[in-house]
């Protein structure tokens, strides 16, 4: 599997419908929502209503990334807004029991669950949760703002995570978010990633279908 999740964080919302149609026509299957509360990260984005509204206009897989301090309080809201995957941050919780609780809560709603780690967080910190997850999201930039450059150390991090995945015979998706473009996409995939979040590069591309193919190395 190698797929792109289009992040709407960098989109011009006045042209979002056109962008989504182009993404669908280019073979993109995932739509990535960066949800920020101004506390966990120093930015504010959008809530479940935006997802619910956009969801009426397309048939993409809704990939929700909660960069918020209290993910537990918003799981049900995003499930009701038709999230297909809900990912929350390891760093947002105080202990392992809280993380287990939210993983179980998300699965209770028959929704796929992901766990994300920031650039400075080691993969070793989340190994104990891997057999319970549908997705692991590696942040390849500091979360909060689009348009940042990919942090090179993350290639090794992806390889380490993929190593654990193979060692334990697991099937979770390895997703990478931050600074993904046509120059590094193929190498990120080769390192073990399956799903690449891309916002700024695709938003700025004049020929989006060609840009998608360039990222995937096709």
Which residues are catalytically annotated?
34, 177
Structure tokens at 140: 């390849």
Burial zone of 120 (CB within 10 Å; 0-12 exposed, 13-18 middle, 19+ buried) = exposed
CA end-to-end distance (rounded Å), the chain? 13
- Distance, CA of 208 to CA of 53 (rounded, Å): 24
- Distance, CA of 215 to CA of 159 (rounded, Å): 19
In the chain, which residue ranges form alpha helices assigned H by DSSP?
Answer: 16-25, 48-55, 75-80, 96-108, 154-167, 185-191, 200-204, 208-216
- Distance, CA of 147 to CA of 173 (rounded, Å): 24
Residue 156: which residues within 8 A CB-CB, separation 6 or more? 191
Q: What is the CA radius of gyration of the chain?
A: 16
Structure tokens at 189: 């995939």
């Amino acid at each position: 599997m190698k797929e792109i999740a289009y992040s709407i964080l960098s989109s011009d919302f006045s042209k979002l419908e056109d962008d989504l149609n182009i993404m669908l026509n280019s073979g993109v299957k995932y739509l990535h929502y960066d949800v920020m509360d101004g506390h966990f990260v120093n930015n504010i984005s959008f809530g479940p209503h935006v997802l619910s509204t956009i969801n009426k206009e397309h048939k993409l897989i809704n990939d929700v990334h909660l960069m918020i301090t209290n993910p537990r309080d918003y799981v049900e809201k995003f499930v009701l807004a038709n999230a297909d995957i809900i990912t929350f941050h390891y760093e947002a919780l105080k202990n392992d029991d809280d993380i287990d609780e939210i993983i179980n809560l998300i699965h209770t709603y028959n929704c796929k669950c992901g766990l994300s780690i920031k650039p400075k967080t080691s993969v070793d910190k989340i190994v104990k949760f891997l057999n319970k997850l549908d997705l692991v999201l590696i942040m390849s930039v500091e979360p909060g703002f689009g348009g940042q450059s990919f942090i090179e150390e993350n290639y090794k991090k992806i390889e380490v995570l993929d190593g654990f995945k193979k060692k334990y015979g697991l099937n979770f998706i390895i997703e990478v978010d931050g600074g993904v473009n046509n120059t590094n996409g193929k190498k990120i995939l080769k390192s073990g990633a399956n799903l690449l979040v891309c916002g700024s590069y695709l938003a700025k591309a004049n020929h989006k279908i060609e840009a998608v193919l360039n990222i995937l190395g096709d």
